[in-house]
Amino acid sequence: MKIVLEVTFRMGGVSYRGHRWEDDALVFEFERLGDAFIQVLSTRKVEVEVEKTPKRVLVELKTKDGGKVFEAFERDGVYLAAEP
């Protein structure tokens, strides 16, 4: 089964690092490390093959200041999320 995630970040410089399962949640891992980034909305699209349907899809963004986790919602077969 293919899971498609489209996530909008508030700044550039984001790299996709992979995904993992936490219980029944599929977590997409991104990181933005460094000091200066372009302050522009940046959209990333990721497609992964998984064996089961996730109950929740989460986006984890690691930064040099720590990080944040936010949830994606499903619309028309695509999971959408935006950095808070």
User: pLDDT tens across 38-61, in order?
Assistant: 778 889 999 999 999 999 999 999
Q: Tell me: the pLDDT tens digits for 9-26?
A: 988 889 999 999 999 999
Mean pLDDT of 60-64: 93
Q: What is the dihedral of CA 84, 10, 29, 37, to 10 degrees?
A: -140
**Structural domain spans, the chain:** 2-82
Q: What is the pLDDT of residue 40?
A: 82
Q: CB burial class (10 A; 0-12, 13-18, 19+) of residue 3?
A: buried
